Structure formats: structure tokens, C-alpha cells
Structure 1
Amino acid sequence: MKYFNFFLVLFLFCHISQGQEKNRFAGFIKIQDTLLIKYKIEFQENGGLISGYSLTDHGGEHETKSRIEGIYDEDTKKISFKEVGLIYTKSPVSLDDFDFCNVDFTSSRFKLGSDKMSGEFKGRFSDGTKCLDGEIAMSSVEKIQKRVAKFTKKVKKSNRIADSIKNKVQNIKIVDTLNLNVLKKNEITSIPTSSKTLKLFVYDGGQIDDDLISIYQDNKPILTKYKISASKKVLEIQLNNDITRIKILSESVGSIGSNTAIIEVLDKGNTIKTMTNLQKGETTEIDILKKKTK
């Protein structure tokens, strides 16, 4: 049971970056005392002002990344932030109903450099209408990494754990999900933009193993059976429609696991780094939605 609990901790947090930045936290949103949703934030503080990102339900069907802004008062140890803009979501969306329940969080017991952050949040739509309220409880990424490292060390020293399990723990791939959106099969990632054009940068971010991909814009091929490499292939996309559909097809998998092409999506406001995780013949889709001017 002791090792089961350690494996549970590792499972929950194995997608955390190896970076040592201080203002990075991971944990859960609790709603109505029963529902737990994974939640992560990364922010910088400058002169009492906070800016950064949040990631809700990372790895889940409704993964959503948003910009956050807020304030920090060093004297009163009060921090508050709210989600102010959608960067991408994997929840179903439409152009006519493009509004989300945004987190507005406050904690009166936080000091920069602390390894915990907790408090209540209010959920609000963009017009201020109430949606869901709840609590947030998070630990610093650095603290979680230390717990994972401690667990890994114990597993390696144990005589009661099979070598096959030790090797799996030793070789766990830690992925920075706050800055890397993993694209899975039959999944649609929606990105709002006010740009008229955007660019795709396609390359292999790891060991080159001859993955092949094809990319389609509104069912028309713009890149065919392309062998990804360390060099970035640049594609410029004209956004002439309200929705531009970018479909990525895995034409083959290389010698190392699944097809893992890095595709960076760049518009005038954001750079979204994505990575495919596809087997041969599988597809994933990125929908670019034009923001309506008010």
C-alpha cells in the first residue's frame, strides 16, 4: 500500500516540467466538495503585478489554457489573479457561444517563494455572470519534483520491487504540459485569434527518427508526406474563413515510439507549442476560430 500511494503521486504529477522556476504550481480545483479538476499555473511578478498562464484539466478531454493577470501585495501577503483570455481549449466550442467560466482567485496567506498556494475562487463568465465557485489547492512544481525524485530513489534501492518496474520509473518521460499541448488522435484543439494570418513551424524536437506527416488546410494538402527534422519547416496560413481547420495526418512512425512532430502555432498574440502523439494513419485537428469584433 505504501508503494501504491507513491505511484499514485507519481501518476498525478508525472507531466511536470523539469524547470526550476519558482512561480509554478500544480494541484486541483475542488468544486462542490466532490469534483476535482487538475489545475496548473505559471506566473511572473513585477512590481506587484502578476502575469502568466493557467492550464485546466491538463491531459483531459477539456484541457484549456488561459492567460492570467493579477496583483501581489508583499506587505499583506495577499495574491489574486483571474483568467482574462483563452489561448486554446479542447472543449467543444462554437463561434456563437465562445464564453467560458473563468477562475477569479484570491489567497490572503501567500508569500512569493512559498511551496503551497490555496484559497477560494469565484467562477465568472466574461460579462461577470456567476457560474461555479470552489477552492484551489496547489503545491510548487519544485516541491513536487523533489517528492518524485525521493520516490524514485526509494524504488531503486528497494529489494521488493522488480527490476522491470524500476526501469519504468527511471525512464519516465517528464513533459512540460503548461507549455506543450499534446495532440492526440481524433482530438480537436480550438484556438481563437484576431489575426488574418498565422504561421506553423514544423520540426522534430527530440531524436530524429524519420516520422512522416501530412498537413491539410480545410481538406486541401499544404504539406505532403513530409519527413520531419531538426530544421523548422515554416507554413503560412491565410485565415479567410470564420473557422480554418488544420488536420495533421501521421503517415508513418519512426523507430522510436509514436509520431511526435512539434508544431508551433504563431499568431500576432501567442505562440502555442504542440506535439503530435499519433500512430500511423491517425489524425488530429487544430481549429482556428476568428474572434468576432464587437
Structure 2
Amino acid sequence: MNGDDKSIITYRIVFEEFNGKVNGYSVTDLDGAHETKNTIVGTYDKKTKLFSFQEKEILYTKSKFEESAFCFVNFSGKVKLVNNTSKVEGTFKGLYKNKTKCIDGTVTLVGSHKIYNFANKVNKKIQKSKKVDQETKNKVNPVKMIDSLKINKLSKDQNLNVFWESKKVVIEIFDAGQEDGDIINLYHNNVIILENYKISNNKKILSIPINLAVKNEFKILAVNEGLIVPNTAKIILIDENRTFELLSSFKRQESASITIIKKSSE
């Protein structure tokens, strides 16, 4: 994905198509400092292979929030099928929320099936190599790296702005892998609401009332690093019928925050 300045930006879309209508979401700048997730709607014509979609609303962003500065993708292009591998190529127009132009560019997307096939081949070579020790083999797994991009990562000093509708925040915290004694503190507007909590495979569920008229910031702090570095926690935020999955990853005493912002009405 690129614009007039010739920069390349990572871009991922996930969608479902039913009777020619497309619904899903996009993620820009995957695992980057400006990672942003938007809902998308569009159409697909099976006869002409024409695929089009528009980004509609921001679900979350790591960028400093200034709604008027966000550029929404409006894409139109062809879907190509070569040897059972899907590829989407086309152009997009970037528009601000007030419909004025911000940037134009091109999009080239490759179906995940091809990427996973390639990653599996690379991983098999790594696993068979006698020059690589087992610990490194476990860490350098291309398939796991691709899977990790499906979940938003929350790293040191980052802030995630999440756009919210309901008057409460339901938070689920658990260890999605091996329990290793990771301990965290959780704060709401600098008031501790979960202290020295040891993360386990069992979900800790919190339901916190909020006032959307004021700032609501949740900070996660790593108290230790457990037996396996770094300190990691799977965090799910639930806003009525919407969920946001996060994976925090910190060294000892590192922290990051989540800011709840009232979703603007269209």
C-alpha cells in the first residue's frame, strides 16, 4: 500500500462476502506505532471479479487521536485467482471524514493461504536444520509470527485508543499459553483495581462502570517477568456486542495504557 510519497504501509483486511455484500475490518501499520483498525463495507461482483470497499469507522488506534486527521481508504480493484491463490490489486482514494481528499495510492493484497504455505515451508527447513538449537527453533517460527499479527500487541509505553459505546468496560485477563507466574497491576485513572495479580489460564473477569463524558484510562503494569520472559497477558475488552483482543508484552516495571473514547455518532 503506497501513496504520493512512495511510502509502503502494511495493510490487512478480514471480511465475509454474502450475496455480493462485503463486511469486515482492516488493520493498517500492523504491529506498528500507528496501528489502526477500521470497519469496512463493500461489494464483490463474481462475474467481473471487481472488489470494492470503504473504511467506515475507527475501532481502535495507537496514533494520537485527532479524528479529523484520519484518512479512510476507499478501494476498488480486481480479484485474481492463480493456482488457487487469491490476489487483490487496485487503487484507492484516501478521504478524510469530511470527504476531502488526503492521499491516493495502490493496494496489493495476497491471500493468507499463500502466506501460510510459504511460512510452513520455511519453518520445516528451520526445524530440520542441525545448525539451529531447539530453543531458537521454538522462538523463530514463521507460522507463529503470522498468527501473532492477528492479535493487537500492546508494548512498552504505547497507548491504545478504543472507541466505545456502552457505560461499562468488561475486561477478561488470562494466560493463553503456559502459566509461568507473570504478575500485573491494573489501574483505572491511576486508581489500582487489580494489585499483584498472578495471571493464570483461568479468566479474571472485571466489569467496570465508566462515564464516557470524562477520560477513562486503563494502565497495565508488569510487576515481574515470571519464568518465561517477557511478562505477557491476553486481554479481551468487551463493549456490548463488540470485542477487542489484546496481548500485552512487557519487561519488569514496563507499562502501557488503553484509553476509552466515546464513539461519535454518525
Secondary structure of 2:122 counterpart = helix
- Structure 1 residues 255 and 98, CA, compared in 2 at 3 Å: closer, same or farther? farther
Counterpart-to-counterpart distance in 2, 1:119 and 1:184: 33
1:85 aligns with 2:57: yes
TM-score calculated relative to the size of structure 2: 0.90
For residue 150 of structure 1, report the CA deviation from its aligned partner: 2.1
TM-score calculated relative to the size of structure 1: 0.82
2:187 to 211, 216, 219: 216
Contact (CA 8 Å) 1:192, 1:289: kept in 2 or not? yes
1:70 aligns with 2:37: no
Secondary structure of 2:172 counterpart = strand
Secondary structure of 2:2 counterpart = strand
1:149 aligns with 2:120: yes
Q: Which amino acid aligns with 1:148?
A: A
- Structure 1 residues 49 and 164, CA, compared in 2 at 3 Å: closer, same or farther? same
Contact (CA 8 Å) 2:161, 2:261: kept in 1 or not? yes
Counterpart-to-counterpart distance in 2, 1:178 and 1:290: 26
Counterpart-to-counterpart distance in 1, 2:239 and 2:139: 38
Secondary structure of 1:147 counterpart = helix
Q: Equivalent residue for 2:74?
A: 104
For residue 201 of structure 1, report the CA deviation from its aligned partner: 0.5
- Structure 1 residues 221 and 178, CA, compared in 2 at 3 Å: closer, same or farther? same
2:132 to 163, 167, 184: 163
Q: Equivalent residue for 1:14?
A: none
- Structure 1 residues 76 and 228, CA, compared in 2 at 3 Å: closer, same or farther? same
Correspondence 1:265-284 to 2 at 5 A:
265-284=237-256
Counterpart-to-counterpart distance in 2, 1:67 and 1:280: 35
Give deviations 1:177-219, integer Å, cap 9, x for gaps.
5541111010000001122112001111111111101100000
Q: Pairwise CA RMSD of aligned residues? A: 2.3
Contact (CA 8 Å) 1:243, 1:290: kept in 2 or not? no
Q: Equivalent residue for 1:243?
A: 215
Unaligned segments of structure 1, at least 5 residues: 1-28
Unaligned segments of structure 2, at least 5 residues: none
Q: Which amino acid aligns with 2:198?
A: K
Contact (CA 8 Å) 1:212, 1:252: kept in 2 or not? yes
1:125 aligns with 2:126: no
Contact (CA 8 Å) 1:44, 1:52: kept in 2 or not? yes
Counterpart-to-counterpart distance in 1, 2:135 and 2:151: 27
1:61 aligns with 2:33: yes
Q: Which amino acid aligns with 1:163?
A: V
For residue 53 of structure 1, report the CA deviation from its aligned partner: 1.2
Higher relative contact order, chain-length normalized (CA < 8 Å, sep 6+):
1
For residue 31 of structure 1, report the CA deviation from its aligned partner: 1.4
Counterpart-to-counterpart distance in 2, 1:267 and 1:209: 29
For residue 33 of structure 1, report the CA deviation from its aligned partner: 6.2
Correspondence 1:164-183 to 2 at 5 A:
164=133, 167-168=136-137, 171-172=140-141, 173-177=144-148, 179-183=150-154
Secondary structure of 1:144 counterpart = helix
Give deviations 1:147-201, integer Å, cap 9, x for gaps.
1222333455668xx3249944774233535541111010000001122112001
